[in-house]
């Protein structure tokens, strides 16, 4: 028996069965091309060889012995830095279907060792809660049947756009129109908005592919899709291009990218769609944004005016401002002034119990143009596990109570509410979005779904991949490493963006037609909603159906 | 789906005429109720002065009648005429109503110093107070309208049968404008308050089809906290209130109604001479967009009548007639029955952009299109 000390097993030693993903390799089919190891972003695979005993059984001879042969194959690394994240790129490139990750049903002992160097586990933004979400469980049950047959989704003309921007009460609009006073700017947009994912968090190929797709939707198909830039600005040529009108420029607490924006203002050929002031992000309240140093490439450093390779944390709050009331008062007004009161300016906050208070402040602020509320399921970049799993407020009840608050005041027409946070995380994008619209949202911000649908993001709710934060995105969506992002063709992303929005539009018709709606987005049409959960129904003030 | 008929004529006629038109349109509906609104009223046995308010409603018990009498007396209203219908209870589906109320009152003396607007508000509040009183007493008192020169009758049952039960054919009541709705029970309960036409401060509309945008519109109107914007026991009641809001609150011309309930598309407004204004109006009034499918027929205090279609025009209405006598109906055979001696080639079915107006002089139809310039200085 050997002494314990001489065995190379320490407190943090793990074997591959302790990992969430186990690489299965079929050596009979492997042709040793090595593509799997080359493509693996985590470098989880190493080529290795082992000696294999081949027993030699010759029955007629008394002498028995073994032969040995050398087997060349794959070995999974067992340190957490090189853990397999289950992205499956190896199986995608394998010419013989000889390799692939398998989800490990056993306990994942890696959770006990995810704090290497004293740093808690971070990952790309996913709550990792599989199964149908609350939004998935909502059904639309007010099918027009009795006095009127349902409309024809294929034949009728549908009006599906929403309004971004403050809308005056009719009396006030008429008064101002008559006296020639300022009327707040509004934009007519498609209700599904590509939410704020920054140029930096996303690779240039991904970001430009999305912009190209958005431009095609607007200019060729007439679907007024817009996208938020996220914090980090956008390339200077975009600011000086006519595509700017499809962009919601986001300003957040790090003000990254705003030097370039301010510099470009005199040369802008059109106004941006809107300005979004980010006060909070649903996935990581108390953390702010974080662009990790791995992703601060030369280009990103130039755009953001920072040194290359350093972490770029945005503070969780705007450090120069005393309170949200002051923020609302000051920032909205100064940004409105900056763009000559021609551009809607609205804040984005985390869904919280104080959302209603913020909303009421906005209602009283004549320059506020809307409110985006981000629920806890959102997030694309780096966030601490504990923040994502345990902080924040789900979006459905938050948006509902804000809408009902506006109803009580008779002002639901005035401040449009936009909802974000886990919309379409199981793929039911239109159903989720329309449910939120009928609960009272004027539009929906979508991030993750777009990455998955338009660029083939491999992340899922079982912690597959989720390494957007470390710049090793196997698809090149969230990486600033040219070797990785060149895997992604911007033209193909654009094509997928267009396909996605065309499908959403068709699905919207399939939902609206049987409800008898074709001429206005069913914002607040809560009589069409039902759910087989009495408590939820009571909370959301919709029907209980079963 | 409900059946709608309206007749407007220089010479007063019996409301029973309109009920026979309902009978012409009887195919394909359940006749679950009748709603009638009369304007330009004359009684056979009473010399009615058109400035006196008429209370219309139903009283279910003697106690309720006493309360009604006391209520009106306490407020200083003086009863001038109490119409007694020649009831045939065997014909009426609901035979146990205590009394159908059509009463003419004289305004309290101290109202003479009040402005027109104040009087209008007081009349509305009187009706609302009576309605509340009925609701507090198990619904034993139902008040449909209280307004000068307007009379309303509503009852559950087949329209012609209701007319026979109330002996409307006896010629004792006549009017220049009669609008009637044969109600098809939809997804709401059978309730007298839910029966069309709806009425608020001289403005009245009735509708066929189902209003799928009902909940958002109702929520918004309720949020205005204006007296009178309440009840909403029918999905279509909001159409009347939108018309009231357009004319009385926003003080916009009648043409604005169409722009509010079915605004033009952005690309259409870009070419419209008043596009900028209309786009702002559309955004401001976005919650009031009706999604139909509906045909809305209405009348105003000055005996103007109107018809508009929703954007989809799935329930087309028809208008026809001759100078001095016009009819609007949800089906062509209704017009045929109301004004048979007209030039049929001039019948008109409004498209989705039209508002058809029968002006009070009844000389000719006004067909107004949303694509026409908007008639207000604001739009310039």
More reliable by pLDDT, B174 or B294? B174
Q: Does B277 touch chain A (CB under 8 A)?
A: yes
Q: Does B280 touch chain A (CB under 8 A)?
A: yes
User: pLDDT at position B37, please?
Assistant: 96
User: pLDDT at position A400, please?
Assistant: 97
Distance from CA of A301 to the nearest CA of B (A): 41
A108 and A196 fall within a common domain = no
A273 among annotated binding-site residues: no
Contact (CB<8Å) B216/A156: no
Contact (CB<8Å) B280/A523: no
A58 and A207 fall within a common domain = no
- Interatomic CA distance for residues B250 and B242, integer angstroms: 10
Q: Which domain holds residue A112?
A: 11-119
pLDDT reading at A241 higher than 60: yes
- Interatomic CA distance for residues B122 and B138, integer angstroms: 25
A180 and A115 fall within a common domain = no
The percentage of chain A sitting over the pLDDT mark of 70, rounded to a whole number, equals: 96
Distance from CA of A406 to the nearest CA of B (A): 8
pLDDT reading at A322 higher than 90: no
Residues A80-97 have pLDDT tens digits of 889 999 999 999 999 999
Strands (E), A121-240: 122-124, 139-140, 162-164, 187-189, 192-194, 227-228
A66 occurs within a structural domain: yes
Residue A223: which of A498, A544, A507 has the closest Cα?
Answer: A498
More reliable by pLDDT, A44 or A319? A44
Distance from CA of B326 to the nearest CA of A (A): 28
> Number of folded domains in chain A?
2
In sequence order, what are the beta bridge partners of B356?
B307, B367
CB of B342 closer than 8 Å to CB of B320: yes
pLDDT reading at A474 higher than 90: yes
Residues B131-165 have pLDDT tens digits of 999 999 998 999 999 999 999 999 988 889 999 99
Q: Does B119 touch chain A (CB under 8 A)?
A: no
Select from A68, A99, A119 the last residue of a domain. Answer: A119
A268 and A163 fall within a common domain = yes
Distance from CA of B248 to the nearest CA of A (A): 11
User: pLDDT at position A284, please?
Assistant: 75
Q: In A, what residues contact B, Cβ < 8 A?
A: 142, 144, 146-148, 151, 156, 159, 161, 163, 167-171, 173-174, 177-178, 183, 186, 188, 406-413, 515-520, 522-527
A175 and A107 fall within a common domain = no
A234 among annotated binding-site residues: no
What residue spans of B302-380 are helical by DSSP H?
A: 332-338
A486 occurs within a structural domain: yes
Residues B245-273 have pLDDT tens digits of 999 999 999 999 999 999 999 999 999 99
A135 occurs within a structural domain: no
A147 occurs within a structural domain: no
CATH number, residue A66: 3.30.70
A34 and A172 fall within a common domain = no
Select from A59, A93, A119 the last residue of a domain. Answer: A119
A49 and A195 fall within a common domain = no
Contact (CB<8Å) A410/B222: yes
- The region of weakest confidence among A57-71, A302-316, B153-167 is A57-71
pLDDT reading at A326 higher than 80: no
* Strand B203-208 with A290-291, pairing: unpaired
Partner A, chain B 342-371, Cβ-Cβ below 8 Å: none
A145 occurs within a structural domain: no
A33 among annotated binding-site residues: yes
pLDDT reading at A498 higher than 80: yes
A210 occurs within a structural domain: yes
A177 and A110 fall within a common domain = no
The answer to ipTM > 0.90 is yes
pLDDT reading at B374 higher than 90: no
CB of A541 closer than 8 Å to CB of A400: yes
A173 and A67 fall within a common domain = no
A140 occurs within a structural domain: no
- Interatomic CA distance for residues A188 and A277, integer angstroms: 20
Which residues in B lie closer than 8 A to residue A148 (C-beta atoms)?
A: 1, 209-210, 293, 314-315
pLDDT reading at B188 higher than 70: no
pLDDT reading at B380 higher than 80: no
User: pLDDT at position A509, please?
Assistant: 95
A382 and A508 fall within a common domain = yes
A274 and A394 fall within a common domain = yes
- The residue-averaged pLDDT of A222-236 equals 93
Contacts of B70 (CB under 8 A, 6+ apart): none
DSSP for residue B247 = I
pLDDT reading at A198 higher than 80: yes
The percentage of chain B sitting over the pLDDT mark of 70, rounded to a whole number, equals: 97
A144 occurs within a structural domain: no
CB of B143 closer than 8 Å to CB of B128: no
Q: Measure the CA angle with vertex A437, ends A435 and A441; round to 5°.
A: 130
A87 and A164 fall within a common domain = no
- The region of weakest confidence among A144-158, A244-258, B322-336 is A144-158
Model confidence at B298, pLDDT cuts 50, 70, 90, reads: very high
Distance from CA of A517 to the nearest CA of B (A): 6
pLDDT reading at A220 higher than 90: yes
Residues B72-100 have pLDDT tens digits of 999 999 999 999 999 988 888 777 889 99
CB atoms within 10 A of CB A117: 5
What residue spans of A101-233 are helical by DSSP H?
A: 134-137, 170-179, 204-216
User: pLDDT at position A381, please?
Assistant: 67
User: pLDDT at position B38, please?
Assistant: 97
Whole-model pTM?
0.94
User: pLDDT at position B379, please?
Assistant: 60
Chain A residue with minimum CA distance to B219 = A407
What domains are defined for chain B?
3-379 (3.60.20.10)
Select from A68, A102, A119 the last residue of a domain. Answer: A119
Chain B residue with minimum CA distance to A172 = B284
């Amino acid at each position: 028996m050997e002494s314990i000390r001489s065995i190379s097993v320490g407190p943090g030693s793990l074997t591959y069965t302790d990992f969430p993903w186990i690489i299965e390799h079929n050596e009979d089919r492997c042709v040793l091309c090595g593509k799997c190891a080359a493509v693996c972003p985590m470098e989880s695979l190493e080529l290795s060889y082992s000696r294999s005993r081949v027993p030699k059984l010759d029955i007629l001879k008394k002498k028995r012995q073994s032969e040995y042969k050398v087997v060349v194959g794959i070995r999974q690394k067992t340190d957490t830095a090189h853990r397999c994240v289950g992205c499956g790129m190896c199986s995608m490139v394998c010419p013989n279907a000889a390799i692939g990750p398998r989800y490990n049903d056993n306990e994942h002992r890696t959770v006990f060792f995810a704090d290497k160097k004293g740093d808690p586990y971070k990952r790309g933004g996913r709550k990792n809660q599989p199964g149908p979400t609350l939004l998935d469980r909502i059904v639309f049950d007010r099918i027009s049947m009795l006095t009127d047959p349902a409309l024809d989704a294929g034949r009728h003309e549908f009006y599906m756009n929403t309004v971004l921007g403050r809308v005056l009460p009719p009396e006030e609009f008429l008064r101002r129109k008559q006296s020639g006073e300022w009327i707040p700017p509004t934009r007519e947009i498609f209700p599904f908005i590509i939410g704020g994912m920054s140029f930096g968090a996303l690779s240039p190929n991904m970001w430009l592919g999305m912009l190209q797709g958005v431009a095609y939707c607007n200019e060729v198909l007439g679907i007024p899709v817009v996208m938020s830039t996220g914090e980090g600005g956008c390339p200077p040529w975009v600011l000086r291009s006519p595509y700017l009108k499809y962009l919601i420029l986001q300003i957040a607490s790090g003000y990254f990218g705003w030097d370039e924006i301010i510099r470009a203002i005199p040369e802008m050929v059109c106004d941006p769609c809107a300005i979004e002031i980010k006060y909070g992000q649903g996935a990581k309240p108390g953390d702010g944004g974080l662009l990790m140093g791995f992703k601060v490439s030369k280009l990103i450093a130039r755009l953001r005016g920072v040194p290359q390779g350093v972490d770029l944390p945005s503070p969780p709050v705007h450090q120069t401002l005393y309170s949200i009331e002051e923020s609302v008062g000051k920032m909205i007004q100064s940004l409105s002034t900056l763009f000559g009161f021609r551009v809607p300016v609205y804040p984005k906050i985390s869904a919280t119990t104080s959302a209603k208070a913020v909303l009421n402040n906005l209602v009283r602020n004549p320059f506020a143009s809307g409110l985006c509320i981000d629920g806890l399921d959102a997030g694309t970049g780096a966030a601490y596990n504990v923040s994502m799993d345990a902080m924040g407020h789900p979006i459905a009840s938050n948006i509902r109570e804000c809408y009902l608050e506006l109803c009580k005041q008779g002002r639901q027409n005035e401040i449009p509410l936009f909802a974000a946070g886990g919309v379409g995380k199981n793929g039911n994008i239109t159903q989720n979005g329309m449910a939120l619209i009928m609960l009272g949202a004027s539009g929906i911000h979508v991030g993750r779904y777009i990455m998955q649908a338009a660029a083939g993001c491999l992340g899922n709710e079982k912690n597959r991949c989720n390494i957007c934060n470390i710049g090793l995105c196997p698809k090149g969506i969230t990486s600033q490493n040219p070797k990785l992002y060149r895997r992604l063709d911007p033209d193909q992303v654009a094509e997928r963006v267009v396909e996605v929005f065309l499908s959403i539009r068709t699905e919207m018709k399939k939902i609206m037609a049987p409800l008898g709606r074709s001429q206005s987005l069913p914002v607040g049409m809560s009589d069409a909603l039902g759910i087989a959960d009495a408590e939820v129904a009571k909370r959301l003030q919709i029907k209980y159906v079963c | 789906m409900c059946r709608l008929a309206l007749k407007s004529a220089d010479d007063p006629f019996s409301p029973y005429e309109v009920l026979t038109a309902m009978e012409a349109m009887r195919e394909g509906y359940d006749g679950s109720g009748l709603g009638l609104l009369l304007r330009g009223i004359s009684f056979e046995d009473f010399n009615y002065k058109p400035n006196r308010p008429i209370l219309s409603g139903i009283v279910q018990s003697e106690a309720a009648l006493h309360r009604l009498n006391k209520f009106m007396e306490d407020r200083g209203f003086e009863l001038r005429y109490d119409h007694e219908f020649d009831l045939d209870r065997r014909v009426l589906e609901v035979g146990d109503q205590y009394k159908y109320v059509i009463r003419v009152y004289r305004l309290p003396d101290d109202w003479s110093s009040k402005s027109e607007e104040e009087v209008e508000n007081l009349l509305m509040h009187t009706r609302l107070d009576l309605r509340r009183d009925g609701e507090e007493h198990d619904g034993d008192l139902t008040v449909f309208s209280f307004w000068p020169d307007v009379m309303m009758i509503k009852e559950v049952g087949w329209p012609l049968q209701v007319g026979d039960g109330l002996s409307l054919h006896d010629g004792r009541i006549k009017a220049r404008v009669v609008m009637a709705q044969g109600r098809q029970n939809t997804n709401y309960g059978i309730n007298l308050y839910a029966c069309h036409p709806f009425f608020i401060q001289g403005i009245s509309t009735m509708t066929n089809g189902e209003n799928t945008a009902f909940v958002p519109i109702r929520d918004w109107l309720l949020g205005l906290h204006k007296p009178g914007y309440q009840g909403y026991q029918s999905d279509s009641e909001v159409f009347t209130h939108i018309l009231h809001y357009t004319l009385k609150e926003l003080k916009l011309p009648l043409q604005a109604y169409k722009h509010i309930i079915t605004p033009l598309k952005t690309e259409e407004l870009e070419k419209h001479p008043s596009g900028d204004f209309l786009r702002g109006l559309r955004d401001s009034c976005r919650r009031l967009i009706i999604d139909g499918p509906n045909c809305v027929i209405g009348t105003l205090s000055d005996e103007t009548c109107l018809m508009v279609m929703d954007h989809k025009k799935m329930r087309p209405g028809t208008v026809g007639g001759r100078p001095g006598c016009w009819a609007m109906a949800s089906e062509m055979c209704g017009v045929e029955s109301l004004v048979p001696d007209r030039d049929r080639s001039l019948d008109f079915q409004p498209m989705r952009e039209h508002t058809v107006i029968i002006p009070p002089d009844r000389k000719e139809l006004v067909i107004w299109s949303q694509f026409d310039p908007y008639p207000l200085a604001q739009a310039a």
